[in-house]
Protein backbone atom coordinates (compact mmCIF):
# COMPACT_ATOMS: atom_id res chain seq x y z
CA UNK A 1 0.00 0.00 0.00
CA UNK A 2 1.23 3.51 -0.82
CA UNK A 3 2.33 5.62 2.08
CA UNK A 4 -0.06 8.22 3.45
CA UNK A 5 0.31 11.77 4.67
CA UNK A 6 -2.12 12.75 7.41
CA UNK A 7 -2.82 16.05 9.12
CA UNK A 8 -4.07 16.01 12.72
CA UNK A 9 -5.73 18.69 14.84
CA UNK A 10 -6.13 18.35 18.59
CA UNK A 11 -2.96 16.28 19.06
CA UNK A 12 -2.27 18.05 22.37
CA UNK A 13 -5.53 16.62 23.72
CA UNK A 14 -6.56 13.19 24.94
CA UNK A 15 -8.00 11.51 21.84
CA UNK A 16 -5.77 13.41 19.43
CA UNK A 17 -2.72 12.48 21.50
CA UNK A 18 -3.47 8.77 21.10
CA UNK A 19 -4.18 9.24 17.40
CA UNK A 20 -0.84 10.99 16.93
CA UNK A 21 1.13 8.24 18.68
CA UNK A 22 -0.66 5.55 16.70
CA UNK A 23 -0.03 7.31 13.40
CA UNK A 24 3.65 7.83 14.07
CA UNK A 25 4.03 4.12 14.74
CA UNK A 26 1.95 2.99 11.78
CA UNK A 27 3.96 1.69 8.81
CA UNK A 28 1.43 2.94 6.24
CA UNK A 29 1.76 6.54 7.36
CA UNK A 30 4.88 8.32 6.16
CA UNK A 31 4.19 11.88 7.32
CA UNK A 32 2.11 13.44 10.06
CA UNK A 33 1.45 17.18 10.18
CA UNK A 34 0.20 18.14 13.64
CA UNK A 35 -1.34 21.60 13.88
CA UNK A 36 -2.00 23.20 17.23
CA UNK A 37 -1.61 26.17 19.54
CA UNK A 38 1.42 24.74 21.28
CA UNK A 39 4.15 22.27 20.47
CA UNK A 40 4.01 18.92 22.17
CA UNK A 41 7.77 18.97 22.58
CA UNK A 42 8.23 15.60 20.90
CA UNK A 43 10.58 14.66 18.14
CA UNK A 44 9.93 11.98 15.56
CA UNK A 45 11.24 11.65 12.01
CA UNK A 46 7.69 11.45 10.57
CA UNK A 47 6.33 14.44 12.49
CA UNK A 48 5.96 18.06 11.39
CA UNK A 49 4.55 20.24 14.16
CA UNK A 50 2.98 23.49 13.00
CA UNK A 51 1.96 26.21 15.41
CA UNK A 52 -1.31 28.03 14.76
CA UNK A 53 -3.09 30.22 17.29
CA UNK A 54 -6.34 31.40 15.73
CA UNK A 55 -8.48 28.77 14.06
CA UNK A 56 -11.07 31.33 13.00
CA UNK A 57 -8.66 32.00 10.12
CA UNK A 58 -6.73 29.05 8.72
CA UNK A 59 -5.70 30.69 5.43
CA UNK A 60 -2.02 30.72 6.38
CA UNK A 61 -2.09 26.93 6.73
CA UNK A 62 -2.91 26.37 3.06
CA UNK A 63 0.64 25.52 2.06
CA UNK A 64 1.52 23.20 4.95
CA UNK A 65 -1.65 21.16 4.55
CA UNK A 66 -1.40 20.66 0.80
CA UNK A 67 -0.82 17.16 -0.55
CA UNK A 68 -2.34 15.28 2.39
CA UNK A 69 -4.46 12.14 2.07
CA UNK A 70 -6.56 12.57 5.19
CA UNK A 71 -7.29 14.70 8.21
CA UNK A 72 -7.99 13.42 11.72
CA UNK A 73 -9.81 16.25 13.47
CA UNK A 74 -9.89 15.94 17.29
CA UNK A 75 -9.92 19.65 18.14
CA UNK A 76 -12.83 20.43 20.44
CA UNK A 77 -13.92 21.42 23.88
CA UNK A 78 -16.44 20.51 26.57
CA UNK A 79 -19.80 21.89 27.67
CA UNK A 80 -19.35 24.02 30.76
CA UNK A 81 -15.68 24.82 30.20
CA UNK A 82 -16.58 27.77 27.94
CA UNK A 83 -19.78 29.76 27.27
CA UNK A 84 -22.14 28.39 24.63
CA UNK A 85 -21.14 31.04 22.09
CA UNK A 86 -17.49 29.99 22.36
CA UNK A 87 -18.42 26.32 22.34
CA UNK A 88 -20.14 26.94 19.01
CA UNK A 89 -17.18 28.91 17.64
CA UNK A 90 -14.77 26.11 18.52
CA UNK A 91 -17.04 23.24 17.52
CA UNK A 92 -18.59 24.66 14.35
CA UNK A 93 -16.67 27.67 13.05
CA UNK A 94 -13.18 26.28 13.58
CA UNK A 95 -14.12 22.99 11.95
CA UNK A 96 -15.67 24.66 8.92
CA UNK A 97 -12.80 27.11 8.50
CA UNK A 98 -10.15 24.39 8.68
CA UNK A 99 -12.17 22.18 6.32
CA UNK A 100 -12.42 25.05 3.82
CA UNK A 101 -8.66 25.49 3.68
CA UNK A 102 -7.92 21.74 3.68
CA UNK A 103 -10.31 21.09 0.81
CA UNK A 104 -8.68 23.87 -1.20
CA UNK A 105 -5.18 22.53 -0.52
CA UNK A 106 -5.81 18.77 -0.53
CA UNK A 107 -8.98 18.32 -2.60
CA UNK A 108 -8.76 14.52 -2.50
CA UNK A 109 -8.34 14.24 1.28
CA UNK A 110 -10.73 12.33 3.53
CA UNK A 111 -11.90 13.94 6.78
CA UNK A 112 -12.31 11.99 10.04
CA UNK A 113 -14.24 14.10 12.55
CA UNK A 114 -14.54 13.57 16.30
CA UNK A 115 -18.17 14.37 16.98
CA UNK A 116 -20.22 12.95 19.86
CA UNK A 117 -23.19 10.73 20.64
CA UNK A 118 -26.47 12.55 20.14
CA UNK A 119 -25.10 14.95 17.53
CA UNK A 120 -28.16 16.36 15.84
CA UNK A 121 -27.96 17.54 12.24
CA UNK A 122 -31.55 18.82 12.33
CA UNK A 123 -30.64 21.52 14.85
CA UNK A 124 -33.62 20.61 17.03
CA UNK A 125 -31.79 19.15 20.02
CA UNK A 126 -32.17 21.02 23.30
CA UNK A 127 -28.51 20.35 24.05
CA UNK A 128 -26.13 22.96 22.64
CA UNK A 129 -23.31 20.40 22.32
CA UNK A 130 -25.53 18.10 20.21
CA UNK A 131 -26.71 20.94 17.97
CA UNK A 132 -23.19 22.27 17.43
CA UNK A 133 -21.66 18.88 16.66
CA UNK A 134 -24.56 18.20 14.28
CA UNK A 135 -24.05 21.55 12.58
CA UNK A 136 -20.36 20.84 12.10
CA UNK A 137 -21.13 17.36 10.71
CA UNK A 138 -23.60 18.78 8.22
CA UNK A 139 -21.18 21.45 7.05
CA UNK A 140 -18.40 18.89 6.59
CA UNK A 141 -20.65 16.67 4.50
CA UNK A 142 -21.51 19.68 2.34
CA UNK A 143 -17.87 20.73 1.99
CA UNK A 144 -17.18 18.42 -0.95
CA UNK A 145 -14.67 16.00 0.57
CA UNK A 146 -14.21 12.60 -1.05
CA UNK A 147 -15.21 11.05 2.26
CA UNK A 148 -16.23 12.30 5.66
CA UNK A 149 -16.03 9.85 8.56
CA UNK A 150 -18.03 10.99 11.55
CA UNK A 151 -17.29 9.42 14.92
CA UNK A 152 -19.96 9.74 17.60
CA UNK A 153 -18.53 8.29 20.81
CA UNK A 154 -20.63 8.16 23.96
CA UNK A 155 -18.50 8.30 27.14
CA UNK A 156 -14.79 8.27 26.27
CA UNK A 157 -12.84 6.55 29.04
CA UNK A 158 -9.57 8.45 29.50
CA UNK A 159 -7.36 5.34 30.13
CA UNK A 160 -4.63 7.50 31.67
CA UNK A 161 -5.48 9.91 34.51
CA UNK A 162 -6.15 13.48 33.39
CA UNK A 163 -7.68 16.69 34.68
CA UNK A 164 -11.34 16.03 33.96
CA UNK A 165 -13.27 18.86 32.26
CA UNK A 166 -16.13 18.96 34.75
CA UNK A 167 -17.84 17.19 37.65
CA UNK A 168 -19.84 14.75 35.56
CA UNK A 169 -16.67 13.46 33.90
CA UNK A 170 -15.05 13.00 37.33
CA UNK A 171 -18.10 11.05 38.37
CA UNK A 172 -18.14 8.95 35.19
CA UNK A 173 -14.53 8.09 35.69
CA UNK A 174 -15.27 6.82 39.21
CA UNK A 175 -18.24 4.70 38.20
CA UNK A 176 -16.74 3.54 34.91
CA UNK A 177 -16.13 -0.12 35.90
CA UNK A 178 -19.80 -0.57 36.83
CA UNK A 179 -21.13 1.62 34.03
CA UNK A 180 -19.13 -0.31 31.42
CA UNK A 181 -20.55 -3.60 32.66
CA UNK A 182 -24.13 -2.33 32.62
CA UNK A 183 -23.94 -0.28 29.42
CA UNK A 184 -21.07 -1.55 27.28
CA UNK A 185 -22.30 0.29 24.20
CA UNK A 186 -22.18 3.63 26.01
CA UNK A 187 -18.41 3.64 26.55
CA UNK A 188 -15.26 3.58 24.47
CA UNK A 189 -11.64 3.84 25.53
CA UNK A 190 -9.82 6.93 24.28
CA UNK A 191 -6.99 4.92 22.73
CA UNK A 192 -9.42 2.55 20.96
CA UNK A 193 -11.39 5.48 19.56
CA UNK A 194 -8.22 7.13 18.27
CA UNK A 195 -7.10 3.90 16.63
CA UNK A 196 -10.50 3.48 14.95
CA UNK A 197 -10.37 7.02 13.53
CA UNK A 198 -6.95 6.46 12.01
CA UNK A 199 -7.67 2.93 10.78
CA UNK A 200 -10.78 4.02 8.91
CA UNK A 201 -8.83 6.61 6.94
CA UNK A 202 -6.30 3.93 6.02
CA UNK A 203 -8.73 1.10 5.22
CA UNK A 204 -11.09 3.29 3.20
CA UNK A 205 -8.37 5.12 1.35
CA UNK A 206 -9.42 5.90 -2.22
CA UNK A 207 -13.10 5.12 -1.56
CA UNK A 208 -15.82 7.73 -1.85
CA UNK A 209 -18.76 8.24 0.51
CA UNK A 210 -19.54 9.45 3.98
CA UNK A 211 -19.92 7.23 7.03
CA UNK A 212 -21.26 7.80 10.53
CA UNK A 213 -19.91 5.59 13.31
CA UNK A 214 -22.02 5.48 16.45
CA UNK A 215 -20.44 4.25 19.68
CA UNK A 216 -21.53 0.64 19.04
CA UNK A 217 -19.98 0.76 15.54
CA UNK A 218 -16.70 2.05 16.95
CA UNK A 219 -16.68 -0.72 19.56
CA UNK A 220 -17.38 -3.33 16.91
CA UNK A 221 -14.50 -2.00 14.87
CA UNK A 222 -11.96 -2.14 17.68
CA UNK A 223 -13.17 -5.46 19.06
CA UNK A 224 -12.83 -7.34 15.78
CA UNK A 225 -9.60 -6.23 14.16
CA UNK A 226 -8.77 -7.95 10.90
CA UNK A 227 -5.07 -7.22 10.57
CA UNK A 228 -4.58 -9.11 7.31
CA UNK A 229 -7.26 -7.08 5.50
CA UNK A 230 -7.06 -3.80 7.30
CA UNK A 231 -3.53 -3.09 8.24
CA UNK A 232 -4.79 -2.68 11.82
CA UNK A 233 -1.93 -2.09 14.13
CA UNK A 234 -1.69 -2.22 17.91
CA UNK A 235 -2.06 1.14 19.67
CA UNK A 236 1.27 2.36 20.94
CA UNK A 237 1.40 2.60 24.69
CA UNK A 238 4.94 3.94 24.87
CA UNK A 239 5.55 7.68 25.09
CA UNK A 240 7.25 9.68 22.39
CA UNK A 241 10.70 11.19 22.74
CA UNK A 242 10.48 14.18 25.02
CA UNK A 243 6.80 13.64 25.80
CA UNK A 244 5.86 14.71 29.29
CA UNK A 245 3.74 12.51 31.53
Would you tell me which residues interact with ligand NAP (CB under 6 A)?
Answer: 10, 12-16, 36-38, 55, 74-78, 90, 114, 116, 153, 155-156
- Cβ proximity of 236 and 21 under 8 Å: yes
Tally the C-alpha atoms within 13 A of residue 210's C-alpha that lie toward its C-beta: 15
**184/209 with CB nearer ligand NAP:** 184
190 or 232: CB nearest ligand NAP: 190
Q: How far is the CB of 1 from ligand NAP (least distance, A)?
A: 28
CB of 237 to ligand NAP, least distance (A): 17
- Secondary structure of residue 169 in the 3-state scheme: helix
Give whichever of 181 and 228 is closer to ligand NAP, judged by the CB atom.
181
Are 9 and 32 spatial neighbours (Cβ–Cβ below 8 Å)? no
Shortest Cβ 36–ligand NAP spacing (Å): 5
Distances (CA, A) of 211 to 36, 145, 150, 207: 26, 12, 6, 11
Q: What is the DSSP letter of 127?
A: -
- State the nearest-atom distance from the C-beta of 233 to ligand NAP, in Å: 20
Residues ≥6 apart with Cβ < 8 Å to 22: 191, 194, 195, 198, 233, 235, 236
Q: In terms of CB distance, is 27 or 85 closer to ligand NAP?
A: 85
Query: In whole angstroms, how close is the CB of 109 to ligand NAP at the nearest point?
Result: 20
Q: Which is nearer to ligand NAP, 156 or 200 (CB)?
A: 156
Q: Which is nearer to ligand NAP, 29 or 34 (CB)?
A: 34
CB of 156 to ligand NAP, least distance (A): 4
Nearest alpha carbon to residue 243 among 45, 40, 23, 18: 40
> Using CA atoms, how far apart are residues 100 and 169, in angstroms rounded to an integer?
33
Amino acid sequence: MNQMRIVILGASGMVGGYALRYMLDHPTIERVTAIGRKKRGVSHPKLDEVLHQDFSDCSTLARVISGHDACVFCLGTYTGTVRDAELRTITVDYTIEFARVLHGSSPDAAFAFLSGAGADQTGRSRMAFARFKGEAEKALIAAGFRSVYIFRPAYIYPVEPRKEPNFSYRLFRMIYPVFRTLFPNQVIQADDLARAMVDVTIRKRGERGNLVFENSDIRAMVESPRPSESGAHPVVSSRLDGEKK
